[in-house]
């Protein structure tokens, strides 16, 4: 594999498996043992690129950092990035499989590695990308599980029917009802909803401004029931600015707290399924398509970068039609 070409004045050189800036002295030929591994300058530059130039979310940077660190830690004798071969990555792939790592997680790890190698090719002139020769295990794509309209109605009314918790603020039921209504009304991701501020809701245009994946902003309509629920909650909690949904300490509610709330509400319904916030997003998309919305509109509402991601919901709608046909048609 070819060596990495460095930029003049700010390059990164490789010697004896160590990374160092060209304006620094190389490491000694026989360095003293250190409890800390040598700094991976190429990886550090890659993470900075993700944060400042591509503007990806902190969660994505953290996942990519963990993926690269896990690979480097998988073997003590791994050569530098520009000396690795396809066999090195195949051995790592087999090790992940032996450790029982799920196929989707394996693909996410290698997505981070492939993005890193594309960066090396574009920024440092790496000519041979070993990952192009590595074939990943295929994953079967399961159709999303969704709630029907009756189940949605039952779940959305659960916060106001459930017994009040003694230590919870009196406005907690109104907050929980507003959260569930907004989930289903606008199809938001969990992190998107938790990150909303009061100013992001516009009752005049009946919309919410959302900061999605890649910190891309989009505007999504909000239905009248959700707007009413948010208004009731804000009036009860006295929220005028800052985080939209509060915890009992009046800070921003966390994603784990929303998960816990949903689980508690589910206990006061007859729904025989495990329901996650993402199932409400699935239900939103499928019900939109069932009602005649076009695929491109649903893609924009969900904030999907690729149409293929949204197309999974068309398969759900077709399956629902087949089931309805089989149950209702006398000659099905």
Catalytic residue list: 189, 213, 278, 281, 304, 313
Bridge partner residues of 210 (DSSP): 218
Element (H, E) at 301: helix 295-302
Instruction: Determine the Cα–Cα distance for residues 303 and 192; give it in Å rounded to an integer.
Output: 11
Instruction: Determine the Cα–Cα distance for residues 18 and 40; give it in Å rounded to an integer.
Output: 8
Q: Rounded to 5 degrees, what are φ and ψ at 246? A: -105, 155
Q: In this structure, what is the dihedral angle of CA atoms 16, 19, 24, 26, given to the nearest 10 degrees?
A: -10
Question: Are 64 and 116 a contacting pair, CB within 8 Å?
Answer: yes
Instruction: Determine the Cα–Cα distance for residues 84 and 184; give it in Å rounded to an integer.
Output: 47
Tokens 């069932």: give the residue.
Answer: 290
Instruction: Determine the Cα–Cα distance for residues 49 and 119; give it in Å rounded to an integer.
Output: 9
Element (H, E) at 20: strand 18-21
Handedness of CA 224, 206, 259, 251 (dihedral sign): negative
Element (H, E) at 219: strand 217-221
In 25-128, which ranges are continuous DSSP H helix? 41-52, 58-72, 86-98, 103-124
């Amino acid at each position: 594999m070819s060596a990495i070409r460095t930029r003049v004045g700010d390059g990164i050189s490789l010697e004896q498996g160590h990374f160092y800036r060209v304006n620094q002295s190389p490491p000694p030929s026989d360095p003293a043992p250190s409890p800390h591994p040598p700094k991976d300058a190429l990886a550090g530059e890659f993470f900075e690129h993700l944060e400042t130039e591509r503007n990806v979310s902190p969660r994505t940077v953290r996942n990519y950092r963990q993926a690269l660190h896990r690979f480097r830690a998988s073997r003590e004798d791994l050569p530098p990035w520009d000396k690795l071969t396809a066999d090195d990555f195949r051995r790592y792939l087999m090790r992940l499989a032996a450790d029982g790592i799920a196929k989707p997680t394996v693909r996410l790890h290698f997505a981070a590695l492939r993005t890193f190698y594309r960066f090396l090719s574009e920024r440092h002139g790496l000519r041979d990308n070993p990952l192009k020769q590595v074939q990943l295990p295929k994953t079967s794509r399961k159709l999303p599980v969704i709630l029907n309209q009756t189940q949605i109605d039952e779940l959305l009314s659960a916060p106001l029917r459930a017994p009040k918790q003694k230590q919870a603020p009196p406005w907690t039921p109104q907050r929980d009802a507003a959260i569930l209504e907004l989930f289903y009304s606008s199809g938001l991701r969990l992190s998107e909803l938790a990150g909303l501020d009061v100013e992001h809701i516009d009752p005049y245009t009946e919309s919410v401004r959302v900061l999605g994946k890649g910190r891309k902003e989009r505007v999504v309509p909000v239905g009248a029931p959700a707007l009413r629920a948010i208004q009731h909650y804000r009036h009860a909690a006295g929220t005028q600015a800052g985080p939209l949904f509060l915890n009992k300490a009046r800070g921003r509610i966390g994603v784990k707290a929303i998960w816990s709330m949903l689980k508690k509400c589910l206990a006061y319904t007859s729904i025989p399924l495990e329901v996650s916030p993402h199932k409400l997003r699935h239900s939103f998309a499928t019900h939109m398509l069932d009602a005649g919305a076009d695929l491109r509109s649903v893609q924009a509402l969900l904030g999907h970068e690729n149409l293929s991601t949204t197309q999974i919901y068309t398969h759900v709608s077709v399956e629902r039609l087949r089931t309805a046909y089989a149950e209702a048609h006398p000659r099905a």
